[in-house]
Structure 1
Amino acid sequence: MPTDPEAPEYWYCIKHSRVEGHDGCPNKDRLGPYDTEAEASRALETAAERTEAWDHDPRWNDDELED
């Protein structure tokens, strides 16, 4: 996620399946922001990897907590 307010931002539009800049589709239709165009292009893969990790993290998954 960008930390410099002057740095360019890159977003992945899930509606159009493409990387966009700041002035793209509404935020409800995209993931980001990302620091680089390459990171934005991997947005769906990154989301899937994070979901997989969270699915197996007992802090986020009550099914894996022991009584």
Structure 2
Amino acid sequence: MTKPHDLGEYYLNTRTGEIEEGKVSGSLNRMGPYPSREAAAEAYENAANRNEAWDEADKAWNDDE
């Protein structure tokens, strides 16, 4: 159930791929909050970019040993 204080926060529903305003879906099926619909829509891409950067940093760290 969306509460008034949740409005203005956007989430990506990871099950449906839909952008939702407020906490419409359960926590297991959402990423966020994001400040805009656009930011929520970019959530998967941003997460993938961060994961790639972390993997590269881990590889560099392990190569230094």
Alignment TM class, shorter chain as reference: 0.7 to 0.9
| Runs of 4+ in structure 1 over 2 Å off | 62-65
Q: What root-mean-square deviation, in Å, do the aligned CA atoms of Structure 1 and Structure 2 show? A: 2.1
Give the structure 2 partner of residue 14 of structure 1: 14
Alignment of 1:25 onto 2:19: no
Q: Match for residue 51 of structure 2? A: 51
SS in 1 for 2:39: helix
Shift, 1:62, TM fit: 6.2
Question: Any stretches of 5+ residues in structure 1 without a counterpart?
Answer: none
Structure 2 length as normaliser, TM-score? 0.77
Which structure has greater helix proportion?
2
Distance verdict in 2 for CA 1:64–1:23, change over 3 Å? closer
Aligned counterparts of 2:60 and 2:50: Cα–Cα separation in 1: 18
Structure 2 spans left out of the alignment, 5+ residues: none
Count residues in correspondence: 60
| CA gap 1:7/1:21 in 2 versus in 1, 3 angstroms | closer
SS at match of 2:8: coil
Q: Percent identity?
A: 28
